[in-house]
Structure 1
Amino acid sequence: MTIPATPDRKSSTPDPDGTAAGKRTYGPDFLTALFQNPLDPGYADAAARRAAGHGRTGARKRATRGFASVTLAAIGFLLVIGYQQTVADEPSRTQARDSLAKQVESRREQTEQLQARADVLADQVDKLREQELGSAAMAGIDNLEAATGLAAVHGSGAKIRLADGPTSVDAVTGVRGTEGRVKDTDLQLAANALWAAGAEAIAINGQRLTATSTIRQAGEAILVDTRPVTTPYEVIALGPADLAADFRNGYAGKFFESLAQTYGMSFESAKVRDVTLDAAPELKLRSASPSTPPPAPSGASSVSGSGAPSGSVPSVSGSEGGR
């Protein structure tokens, strides 16, 4: 902003004969004066005094040099002390770091040994269970484990692939848009649509879904059972031969196609064969309650009391919400 010029009062002073001394003139504005005289007047005066031989001399000059020397010596002394302290503390830090590294390595070896021991004990438990229960009961248990996600399964089905689209940036605010990104609700929709279409087992980026699985958004990351998954997201489901076509022609498939056309999100649906889905981690169950007891057979005496009959089957609730 240019500061308006003010008239020069001297230029309008009348001459002794009473007439004005020529035309009215104006002084330069602030920016013009700044560029015409960039050096502060104080610096110019100091330079002029030194040039004229009026600088500091005698005792004042010696005092100034002495004070500067003392200040530099003090700064150097403090730097030397700090360097010596740093060098003295380095061995202790190195020892602490080496000690922590050794502890981490030792704990890792212990963990590997315990995991190997747990695998051996699990094999022994399986053999003992098969010996005690028999092949027929074990087959039923294997089917239940496969249905609940606690055992690996193999078969054919569908693969749904979702990937983030290009990120838009607002030209004014610089805020990045999230319309083209895959969200947790999209993966929830895909999983529920596959269950509804007849899927028997589902995994998202290798994470097997169970009755207590959760798909949640945590900031910019998506967690499947507290484990992060990243784009591209592959949802593999085992089920009927037409599972991929039913998904693509259903509500979820049409919804993802509209997202792909509008925001550039990547969406693919295809058949898969000979796919193996790994088992889910062991479920962490926190509570259990008995189910409604079956009706007593005719002629049997009724049982009163708060406890359930010994033949009732408990229903188990997981520590996390269902899908």
Structure 2
Amino acid sequence: MPQQPPVRSSPAGSRRPDASMSLITNVMDHSLDDGYAEAAARRKAQGESGLPKTLRARLGLAAGLVLAALVVTVGAAQARVAAPVVAKERQELIDRIDGETAAADKLEGSVDRLRDEVAARQRAALRSTGGSAEADLVGVLSGATSVHGPGVKLVVNDAKEASSGGGGSNPRETSGFSDTGRVRDRDMQRVVNGLWASGAEAVAVNGQRLTALSAIRAAGDAILVDNKPLVPPYTVLAVGDGERLSTRFQNSADGLYLHALEQNYGIRATISTEGDVSLPAAPSVIVRTAQPTTEKTEKGTS
């Protein structure tokens, strides 16, 4: 009997014709909409809105501008409300300063009147004792009485280009800061001492009468005469023989020093003779340390 070929059993289900094209089948079965939906869901889970970035940036910018405008508006409103209060306080301070200044001027005037009255009574008392000439001479030399007569007028001023706190080193340094074309206290000391040495009988600087107890010092850029600040130009009046006093001062060491300041530092100075200059009395001439010499002391020291 002839043998039949073996029969092969076929699978239960039929095989898809596109089974070998799984990638293409996956693309066809799952559209790109699923990917977009998944990305949107992921952004939503992270707290992001579905708005485009450009729109979010514009909204953020708009919100920032609104906030800045609000801050500026609130600040302007507060400043407008506070402005009257500040102006009122400022005016009150100005009025207080003016009032105190007026009171100080009034007191100073009273002091001057009392000083003149005391000086007049002193002169009257000295005349009654026969010491009029000597008393007048002592009053003039000590600065206790006002004087007038021929003399010189010396005006010393800063250089035109003078400024405070110049940079760089300078050989002429005074009061701890470098020279910048400004008149210093040491300069005024030399000028005044030169006038005394040249024969001045009485000297005043900007109306401040100088005595044996006077001091010329510096406070910052200001020059103090008996603790009163002066401002340039500094006008020095000296009573004496005008022509002789002017010539002797300009030829003295202190006059040459002033001339050197003019040449090297631009300080301005002019001197002129005057037919009559008036000098006020010194504010106060009080000797606190000197003691009268007794007869016993004089015998012991002779």
- TM-score normalised by length of structure 1: 0.57
Which structure 2 segments of 5+ residues have no match?
A: 1-49, 171-178
Distance 1:166 1:89, change over 3 A: closer
* 1:110-189 matches, cutoff 5 A: 110-115=103-108, 117-118=110-111, 121=114, 125=118, 135=128, 136=130, 141-164=135-158, 178=179, 182-189=183-190
Alpha-carbon contact 1:168-1:176 (below 8 Å) kept: no
Judge which range, 143-152 or 114-123, deviates more. Answer: 114-123
- Counterpart of 2:139, as a letter, is E
Deviation at 1:209, TM superposition (A): 1.4
Give 1:3-18 correspondences, 5 Å limit: none
Q: Distance in 1 between matches of 2:162 and 2:265?
A: 9
Following the alignment from structure 2 to structure 1, what is the Cα–Cα distance between the partners of residues 95 and 261?
51
Q: Residues 165 and 264 of structure 1 are in contact (CA less than 8 Å); yes or no, is this contact kept in structure 2?
A: yes
Tell whether 2:79 aligns with 1:78: no
Q: Could you say which residue in structure 2 is the equivalent of 1:293?
A: 294
Larger radius of gyration: 2
Write the distance in 2 (CA, Å) between the matches of 1:164 and 1:123: 35
8 A Cα contact 1:149 1:210, kept in partner? yes
2:61 to 55, 61, 68: 68
CA distance in 1, matches of 2:124, 2:255: 48
**What's the CA shift string for 1:171-222, capped at 9, x where partnerless?**
xx98596486544333222222222232211122333211122223444443
Q: Decide whether aligned partners of structure 1 residues 128 and 76 sit closer, same or farther in structure 2, where only a CA change above 3 A counts.
A: same
TM-superposed deviation, 1:276: 0.8
Which residue in the other structure is 1:239 paired with?
240
Q: Which stretch shows the higher mean deviation, 94-103 or 271-280? A: 94-103
8 Å CA contact retained: 1:167, 1:176: no
Shift of 1:152: 1.4
Aligned to 2:212: 211
Q: 1:140 to 1:108 in 2, by over 3 A?
A: same
Offset at residue 98 of structure 1 (A): 3.4
Query: 1:104–1:209: structure 2 CA closer, same or farther, 3 Å change rule?
Result: same
Counterpart CA distance in 2 for 1:258 and 1:120 is 43
- Partner of 2:283 in structure 1? 281
| Unaligned segments of structure 1, at least 5 residues | 1-56, 303-323
Write the distance in 2 (CA, Å) between the matches of 1:127 and 1:252.
37
Which of residues 63, 88, 95 is equivalent to 1:95? 88
Offset from partner CA, 1:130-182 (integer Å, 9 cap, x none): 6766544676555433222232111112334444556599xxx9859648654
Give the length in aligned residue pairs. 239
Cross-structure match for 2:253: 251
Letter in 2 for 1:94: A
Pairs within 5 Å for 1:301-316: none
CA contact (8 A) 2:191 2:258 kept: no
Contact 2:162/2:182 (<8 A) preserved: no
Bigger share in helix: 2
State whether structure 2 residue 192 is matched by structure 1 residue 191. Answer: yes
TM superposition score normalised by structure 2: 0.60
CA distance in 2, matches of 1:155, 1:144: 17
Cα 1:197–1:61 change in 2 (3 A) is closer
Within 2, Cα distance between the matches of 1:113 and 1:205? 21
**SS of residue matched to 2:296:** coil
> How far, CA to CA, are the matches of 1:83 and 1:194 in structure 2?
63
Inter-partner Cα distance in structure 2 for 1:220 and 1:190:
18
Overall identity of the aligned pairs, in %: 32
With over 3 angstroms needed to count, the CA separation of the structure-2 counterparts of 1:102 and 1:64, relative to structure 1, is: same
- 1:70–1:217 CA distance, 2 compared to 1 (3 A): same
What displacement does 1:274 show?
1.1
Cα distance between partner residues in 1 of 2:96 and 2:76 = 30
Asked whether the 8 Å contact 1:208–1:280 carries over to 2, the reply is yes
The one-letter amino acid of 1:288's match is T
Query: Partner letter of residue 245 of structure 2?
Result: L
Partner Cα distance (1:105, 1:258) in 2: 43
